Amino acid sequence: MRLKKRSKADTEISTASMPDIVFLLLFFFMVSATIKTEDEKLKVTIPKAQAITKVEKKFLIRELHVGFPKNQKLGSTPKISADGKLLELNALGNWVQEQKTSLGEVYSDQMIVLLRAHEEVDMGIIGDIQSELRKNNARKILYRTLEES
Amino acid sequence: MIRLKKPKSEPKVSAGSMADIAFLLLIFFLVATTLMQDKGLMLQLPPDVPPTETPINERNLFKIRINSKNQFLIEEKVVDDLHNLKEEVMDFVLNPNANPSLSESPDKAIISIKTQRGTSYANFIDVLDEVKEAYYTMYGNRVGLSSKEFRALDKKNPSQNELYLTARAGLPMNISIAEPDKIN
């Protein structure tokens, strides 16, 4: 009889540590999720495609954005931006070299440039970027597209 | 003053809603963080060396041109829409009936995409997509998979990697993109 009584009293699980557990989860997600800062300066709508593939080594990816500036003062010609900063075409070579150094010797030749370009820009600027990438020996290019449903 | 004095038991804050608040925060972060997006059309650009004259048999070259008015010229024919392009590319590369105007052999076939400065990026992506889809369908057919299944093969898994390598053997994806023309 005495045993039964005690076990009855113990059945309630303490929820006092619940907030701690949830906060731990929260911090885990905050740390592990790489928050992608959307490019504020340019308007980019990426095109859709079917034959898309996934990159296995994500750390090789470096992003370039191409689109029309949101701010009218910056003009209405398509602009290039990387890491939230506008880049001129002649500064692109420097950017590529910087990114290659940041990857280290082993992987610098495998760098993948992810081109997130607005679907309405014309091929002129895309071609300019490509020739600049070729000059700096960054020859893997990934045209970012959405999956066509 | 005496009335304002609070009873001693009141200052205790209830911790019961703490979990709810934390969950709310957790869900907010889960929704707000978009993970790194890494899907798209991969292409290898040619090295930056002065172009050398390599003799290419005209029949091995499948030419796609897009002009600044966004009109397509495929193998010297003006085309309005691209829905046949995938079949044409597959026919051209594999050449099952040994047609003398199509490619000599699958490994010699080259798909050339040329644009002009005024061509819209969306059109270029459409064409590139169709060509890549044609190749992935051919790879898939060789190992009895669909294009989508082939693209999803995991190269870290030995048996899947073998399938991938068998499918690609002797059928390189030769896509050449020329610099956009200055004129027009």
Burial class (CB within 10 angstroms; exposed 0-12, middle 13-18, buried 19+) of B147:
buried
* Residues A10, A8: Cα–Cα separation, whole Å: 5
CA distance A82 to chain B (A): 15
Half-sphere exposure (CA, 13 Å, Cβ side) for A130?
21
Choose among A116, A62, A124, A25: nearest CA to B24.
A25
Q: What is the mean pLDDT of chain A?
A: 82
Class of domain A42-147: alpha beta
Rounded Cα–Cα distance for residues A132 and A82 (Å)? 15
- pLDDT (0 to 100) of residue B184: 42
Chain B contact present for A85, CB below 8 A: no
The answer to whether position B40 is within a domain reads no
Which residue ranges make up each domain of chain A? Answer: 2-32, 42-147
- How many C-beta neighbours within 10 Å does residue B108 have? 15
Query: ipTM greater than 0.90, yes or no?
Result: no
Q: Residue B25: closest CA among chain A residues belongs to which residue? A: A26
Note whether residue B147 is domain-resident.
no
- At residue A60's C-alpha, the angle toward residues A135 and B29, to 5°, is 130
The tens digit of pLDDT for each residue in B49-93 reads: 777 777 777 888 888 998 888 888 888 888 888 888 888 888 888
Structurally, chain B folds into a number of domains equal to 1
Measured between beta carbons, the chain A residues lying within 8 angstroms of B130 are: 51
The residue that leads in pLDDT, B127 or A27, is B127
**Cα distance from B59 to chain A (closest Cα, Å)?**
26
- Structural domain containing residue B81: 58-138+172-178
pLDDT tens per residue, range A3-60: 555 555 667 777 778 778 888 887 887 776 665 555 567 888 888 888 888 888 888 8
**Is B30 strand, coil or helix?**
helix
Question: Residue B21 in contact with residue A116, Cβ under 8 Å?
Answer: no
Task: Say what the pLDDT of residue B9 is.
Answer: 65
Angstrom distance (rounded) from CA B1 to CA B8: 15
Rounded to a whole number of angstroms, the distance from the CA of A1 to the nearest CA of chain B is: 34
Statement: residue A68 has pLDDT above 50: yes
- Are B39 and A56 in contact by the 8 Å Cβ rule? The answer is no
A-contacting residues of B 148-167, CB under 8 Å?
151, 155-156
Report the alpha-carbon distance of residue B11 to residue B128 in Å, rounded: 68
